[in-house]
C-alpha cells in the first residue's frame, strides 16, 4: 500500500474482530454452501462485513453510532469514485488555521494539541463547504476520522486522554481503499439492532453486540461529534456530548431480554454469535451482561447450536487482561 491510502481495518476500535476474521470465514465456509445476503447487525468497524463483500453477495451493515454508519456507507455503499476527490483531500491537508474554532476551544490540549485541534475543526467546517454530494462528504469525513485516530492522545477510545507534554501533530488525510464494483447492492443502516431485525431478512446473520456495561457511545462520542457537527455543548474532563439517544440496552441488565428478542425476530438460515469469556473479571465494567449459558439456551430454541472456542489474547484496553481469554463463536442452524 502506498502512503496515500488506508484500509477499513486501519483503525483502533474496542472489541473489533480483526483477529477473528479467519475463524469466522472458516465457520461460514463449513456451514453454508450458498448465500446471497450477509447481515452484520452490530458492525462496528465493518471489518467482518468487508470479508463477505464479494460478487453476488449483498452485505447489510448496521450500527447504532452514526460515525460507524458513515464509514460503512463509504466502504460499502459507494459505487463510483467521485472525480477530484483526491484533490479535495490534498486541499484539506494543506489547511493551516490561525483562529480558534468550536473544536479547538473544546478539544485543544486534550486528545489533540491546540494546533491540531484547530486544524481538525477547520477541516471539518471546510468539508461541509466543499462537498458536492453525500458520497464526497462521507469519504472526506471517513478520511478525517481515520487520520485523527492515528495521532489521538488516547489508548484507542475517547473515555479519557493521557496527560502528556507533547502531542503528535502529524495529522494526514488519505484516500480510503474502496472496491467500487463490489458495492452494487449493499445497504447500510444506523438503527437499533432489534428494530432492524424485524424488517430485514438475510441468509446469514453475524451478531457481535457489546457484552459489558461500557457504552460505545461513551468511548466514541468524539467521532459522533465530528460526524454530526452540530457543535453541541460538551462537558466533563472527557468533553462528552449528550449521548442519551445512543445508549445501548445491551450494556444494561436488560441485555438477556433484548438478546432473546433479537434472536426470536431474525428471519434467517444461519446465525453466528461472537462471545468472549470475560465474566468474573476483576473490573466490574468488564463483566458480561449476558452469560454463556443464557446465549446458548436462547440460540438452542432457534435451532441446532454448536460452540466453537478460540483461544485469544484479551481484547481489552490493556490494563484489565483476563487470564485464559477465549473467544467463542456460536453457530446456529435455524429451524
Q: Is 158 in the site for ligand SAM (CB under 6 A)?
A: no
In the set 209, 270, 281, 298, which binds ligand SAM (CB under 6 A)?
209
CA distances from 293 to 15, 94, 278, 299 (A): 21, 54, 14, 10
User: Residues binding ligand SAM: what is the number (CB under 6 A)?
Assistant: 23
What value, to the nearest 5°, has the Cα angle with vertex 85 and ends 82 and 89?
160
State yes or no: residue 224 binds ligand SAM (CB under 6 A): no
| 51 part of the interface to ligand SAM, by CB under 6 A | no
Please tell me whether residue 50 binds ligand SAM under the rule CB under 6 A. no
Mode of pairing for the β-strands spanning 201-207 and 187-189: unpaired
Which residues contact residue 66 at a Cβ distance below 8 angstroms, ignoring those fewer than 6 apart? 190, 224, 227, 228
Shortest spacing between CB 304 and ligand SAM, in angstroms: 24
Rule CB under 6 A: choose which of 27, 35, 39, 44 binds ligand SAM.
44
- Residue 173, exposed/middle/buried by CB under 10 A (0-12, 13-18, 19+)? buried
Q: How is residue 127 annotated by DSSP?
A: H
If the CB atoms of residues 144 and 219 are measured against ligand SAM, the closer one turns out to be 219
Q: Considering the complex, state which of residue 136 and residue 208 has its C-beta at the smaller distance from ligand SAM.
A: 208
Binding flags for ligand SAM, 115-154, as an x/- string (CB under 6 A): ----------------------------------------
The only residue of 8, 28, 39, 64 in contact with ligand SAM, by rule CB under 6 A: 64
Instruction: Between 72 and 137, name the residue whose CB sits nearer to ligand SAM.
Output: 72
User: Among 124-132, 151-159, 204-212, 322-330, which window interacts with ligand SAM (CB under 6 A)?
Assistant: 204-212
212, 286, 278, 268: which is closest to 40 by C-alpha? 268
**Closest distance to ligand SAM from the beta carbon of 86 (Å):** 27
* Residue 207, strand partner residues: 273
Q: Is residue 15 near ligand SAM by the rule CB under 6 A? A: yes
From candidates 8, 48, 144, 332, binder to ligand SAM by CB under 6 A:
48
CA distance 161 to 167: 11
Contact 322, 277 (CB under 8 A): yes
Kindly state whether residue 47 participates in binding ligand SAM, applying the rule CB under 6 A.
Answer: yes
| Residue 42 in the binding site for ligand SAM (CB under 6 A) | yes
CA atoms within a 13 Å half-sphere pointing along the CA-CB vector of 190 = 13
Instruction: Considering only the stretches 56-64, 175-183, 236-244, 318-326, report the one whose residues sit in contact with ligand SAM under the rule CB under 6 A.
Output: 56-64
Per DSSP, the three-state class of 277 is: coil
Q: CA-CA distance, 156 to 153, in Å (whole number)?
A: 8
Stretch that binds ligand SAM, among 83-91, 105-113, 143-151, 205-213 (CB under 6 A): 205-213
Q: Does 45 bind ligand SAM (CB under 6 A)?
A: yes
DSSP E strands: which ranges in the chain? 5-6, 37-40, 58-62, 175-176, 187-189, 201-207, 267-276, 303-311, 326-334
Tell the smallest beta-carbon distance from residue 214 to ligand SAM (Å). Answer: 10
Nearest to 107 by CA among 124, 132, 87, 95: 124
Which spans of this chain sit near ligand SAM (rule: CB under 6 A)? Answer: 13, 15-17, 42-45, 47-48, 62-65, 68, 192-193, 208-210, 216, 248, 250
Amino acid at each position: 500500500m502506498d502512503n496515500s491510502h488506508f484500509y477499513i481495518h486501519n483503525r483502533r476500535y474496542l472489541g473489533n474482530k480483526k483477529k477473528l476474521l479467519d475463524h469466522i470465514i472458516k465457520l461460514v465456509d463449513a456451514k453454508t454452501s450458498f448465500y446471497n445476503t450477509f447481515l452484520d447487525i452490530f458492525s462496528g468497524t465493518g471489518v467482518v462485513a468487508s470479508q463477505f463483500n464479494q460478487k453476488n453477495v449483498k452485505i447489510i451493515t448496521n450500527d447504532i453510532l452514526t460515525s460507524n454508519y458513515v464509514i460503512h456507507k463509504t466502504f460499502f455503499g459507494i459505487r463510483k469514485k467521485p472525480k477530484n476527490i483526491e484533490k479535495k483531500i490534498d486541499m484539506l491537508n494543506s489547511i493551516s488555521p490561525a483562529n480558534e474554532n468550536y473544536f479547538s476551544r473544546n478539544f485543544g490540549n486534550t486528545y489533540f494539541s491546540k494546533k491540531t485541534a484547530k486544524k481538525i475543526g477547520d477541516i471539518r467546517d471546510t468539508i461541509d463547504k466543499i462537498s458536492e454530494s453525500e458520497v464526497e462528504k462521507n469519504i472526506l469525513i471517513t478520511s478525517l476520522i481515520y487520520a485523527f485516530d492515528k495521532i489521538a492522545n488516547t489508548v484507542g477510545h475517547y473515555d479519557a486522554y493521557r496527560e502528556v507534554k507533547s502531542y503528535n501533530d502529524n495529522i494526514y488525510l488519505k484516500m480510503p481503499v474502496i472496491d467500487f464494483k463490489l458495492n452494487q447492492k449493499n445497504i447500510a443502516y444506523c438503527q437499533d439492532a432489534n428494530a432492524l431485525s424485524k424488517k430485514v431478512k438475510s441468509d446469514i446473520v453475524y451478531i457481535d453486540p457489546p457484552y459489558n456495561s461500557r457504552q460505545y457511545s461513551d468511548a466514541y462520542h468524539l467521532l459522533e461529534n465530528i460526524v454530526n457537527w452540530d457543535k453541541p455543548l460538551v462537558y466533563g474532563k472527557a468533553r462528552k456530548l449528550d449521548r442519551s439517544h445512543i445508549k445501548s440496552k445491551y450494556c444494561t441488565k436488560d441485555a438477556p431480554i433484548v438478546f432473546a428478542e433479537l434472536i426470536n425476530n431474525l428471519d434467517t438460515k444461519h446465525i453466528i454469535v461472537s462471545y468472549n469469556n470475560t465474566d468474573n473479571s476483576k473490573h466490574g465494567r468488564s463483566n458480561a451482561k449476558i452469560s454463556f449459558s443464557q446465549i446458548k439456551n436462547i440460540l438452542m430454541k432457534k435451532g441446532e447450536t454448536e460452540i466453537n472456542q478460540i483461544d485469544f489474547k484479551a481484547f481489552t484496553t490493556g490494563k484489565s487482561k483476563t487470564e485464559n481469554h477465549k473467544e467463542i463463536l456460536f453457530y446456529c442452524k435455524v429451524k
